[in-house]
Amino acid sequence: MSGNEPASPMPAGGLLGDLRALRADVLRFLETVPRQRGDVAPLRLAWYRAVLLSHPEHVHQVLVTDCARFQKPPRFRRAARRICGRGLFANEGPDWRRQRQRVQAALQRLDLDQYAGTVNSVVDQTLAGWPRDGDQEMFGLLVRLALAIRASTTFGTRSALPLTDLAQATSVFMDYFVHTFRWPLAWPLWVPTGRNRRTRAACRTWWRTLRQAIEVAGTKNHSVESLLDALQHPDTEADRLTSRQLLDELATWVLTGTETLANTLAWSCYLLARHPAARRCLADELDRTLGGRPPMPADVARLPYLESVIRETLRLFPQGYMLGRKALEPFSVGRQAFPSGTAVILNQWFISRDSRWFDDPLAFEPRRWSDGLLERLPRGAFIPYGAGPRACAGRMFARIELPLVLAAITQRFDLELSPERAVRPLPSITLRPSPALPIRLRQRAQVPNSGAGGDT
Ligand code: HEM
């Protein structure tokens, strides 16, 4: 650390310091602070010392090169534990490492083509029940679709989870997270405020439903390769999970894998509805390549525009828009030094909209990805699934689910944004569209299923 300058003096700002501006408008805060104070911006969030990092190289340092010096913030872990127990997302240290190895070993046992077949059949059934024409609250439809996919792939195709209850519980959790992170003086959950009562009721529904799902799946002799199957049949006895660990891992999977999927699909639909030329281009590519049949994972490499639409959505609306860590020891970034205990905020929202890395950064331009941009970007500039040892454990499934679902929606429907209401991102642990996503659906004329390119 010698030769480093101490962190610049704490910013002023009354009792709350920077927390006042952060609470008022998180995304605006993430955009303005780096412009005013640079890529390494010391903050004071009430009595917490923090730093906002807005350069890709520094993000890479925290998540990858120096990752052992940081962990997820304890406040965040405490809140997440109510909903995910000690599953991967909210765990730390040697316990997390062991769990991550076990889950990864279980995931290797899944047959990805069978997995994609399950996703396609859930999507097919669900879209058949969508209205053919008219204004819809699309986000609600997508949350239920994402939950149905997660339920079938996690517990098996015959699972019958009460999706509406789970969708409501997830909304309550997101509201709880928004409140807890913005307000360090938030009442602990046992204090009977209205929000706390709603959150505790949602937790009871959540855990009861997941326990029942495990019991039901366990008593049926279903043959589907679900995550539950894979976790229950480890290769070695040492990898066997206790029933509590199993429950926590499945709760983690359902929460993390549903919220991010629904949100990313929602933002893709929003962007396609706002950009008819891009929507037509995507529909043409799908018709030409698939001729009306559902895509399989092997098709994705032959659908470059689809892949680019998804990348562009993840760039403009990154679900990990602000990743948090806490320093376990003193560290330095650039030429500034920070003490142990500093909260570190990685500003992915700003980085993925920064003109230093992306031309015309606010434009939705899927074609920017067609000439090798991904390889040219500095590391840390586009990491929609995080990076380093804590990167997304479900990314290989997201990379199957996102293209399959978006292709199926585009093959069947034209999307148009209903003009009356503005849609904004609601920053919680993820980025939801708010207050809703009003979209006009119109069923497209069916392209005959000619089996085009049918080598899969
Ligand atoms: C669009 C889809 C997705 C996006 C953008 C996404 C993004 C992320 C990000 C950025 C992280 C890292 C958070 C951090 O470093 O603090 C993460 C972690 C995680 N994600 Fe995802 N995710 C997606 C889908 C999924 C799916 C489908 C699953 C499971 C089915 C999943 C399971 C997880 C888990 C378990 C973790 C915690 C890993 C750990 O800490 O060991 N994610 N995700």
What pLDDT score does 235 carry? 79
- Residue in the structure block whose two tokens are 């938030």: 186
Residue 116: which CATH number? 1.10.630.10
Ligand 1: does its nearest atom lie under 6 Å from the Cβ of 260? yes
What pLDDT score does 386 carry? 98
DSSP 8-state symbol, 366? G
Ligand 1: does its nearest atom lie under 6 Å from the Cβ of 390? yes
Identify the three-state secondary structure at position 423.
coil
The answer to whether residue 265 is domain-embedded is yes
Minimal-distance CA residue to ligand 1 atom 37:
89
The answer to whether residue 389 is domain-embedded is no
Distance 219 CA to ligand 1 centre (A): 30
Ligand 1: does its nearest atom lie under 6 Å from the Cβ of 319? yes
- Tens of pLDDT along the chain (456 residues) come to 333 444 444 555 678 899 889 988 999 999 999 999 999 999 998 888 999 999 999 999 999 999 999 999 988 888 888 899 999 999 999 999 999 999 998 888 888 889 999 999 999 999 999 998 888 999 999 999 999 999 999 988 666 778 888 888 988 998 888 888 777 677 888 888 899 999 999 999 999 999 988 888 775 555 546 888 888 888 788 888 899 999 999 999 999 999 999 999 999 999 999 999 999 999 999 999 999 899 998 999 999 999 999 999 999 999 999 999 999 999 999 899 999 999 999 999 999 999 999 999 999 999 999 999 999 999 999 999 999 999 999 999 999 999 999 999 999 999 998 876 789 999 888 999 988 899 999 999 876 665 554 433
Minimal-distance CA residue to ligand 1 atom 35:
393
Cis amide leading into 361 (omega within 30): no
Ligand 1: does its nearest atom lie under 6 Å from the Cβ of 294? no
Q: Tokens in use for 116?
A: 């994609």
Minimal-distance CA residue to ligand 1 atom 16:
323
The answer to whether residue 233 is domain-embedded is yes
> What single string gives the DSSP state of each residue in 270-288?
HHHHH-HHHHHHHHHHHHH
User: For residues 96 and 256, what is the distance between their CA atoms, to the nearest angstrom?
Assistant: 16
Minimal-distance CA residue to ligand 1 atom 32:
394
Q: Which of 428, 358, 351 lies closest to 386 in space, CA to CA?
A: 351
Distance 257 CA to ligand 1 centre (A): 7
Stated as kind and residue range, the H or E segment containing 74 is helix 74-84
User: For residues 327 and 69, what is the distance between their CA atoms, to the nearest angstrom?
Assistant: 6
Atom of ligand 1 nearest to the CA of 154: 30
- Domain that residue 310 falls in: 85-317+395-443
The answer to whether residue 339 is domain-embedded is no
Q: Tokens in use for 455?
A: 């080598």
What pLDDT score does 313 carry? 98
The answer to whether residue 256 is domain-embedded is yes
Ligand 1: does its nearest atom lie under 6 Å from the Cβ of 59? no
The answer to whether residue 99 is domain-embedded is yes
How many structural domains are present in the chain? 1
Atom of ligand 1 nearest to the CA of 264: 1
The answer to whether residue 65 is domain-embedded is no
User: For residues 96 and 90, what is the distance between their CA atoms, to the nearest angstrom?
Assistant: 9
The answer to whether residue 34 is domain-embedded is no
Atom of ligand 1 nearest to the CA of 391: 12
Ligand 1: does its nearest atom lie under 6 Å from the Cβ of 89? yes
Minimal-distance CA residue to ligand 1 atom 17:
392
Q: Positive or negative, the Cα torsion across 93, 112, 117, 272?
A: positive
Identify the three-state secondary structure at position 356.
coil
Ligand 1: does its nearest atom lie under 6 Å from the Cβ of 296? no
Ligand 1: does its nearest atom lie under 6 Å from the Cβ of 77? no
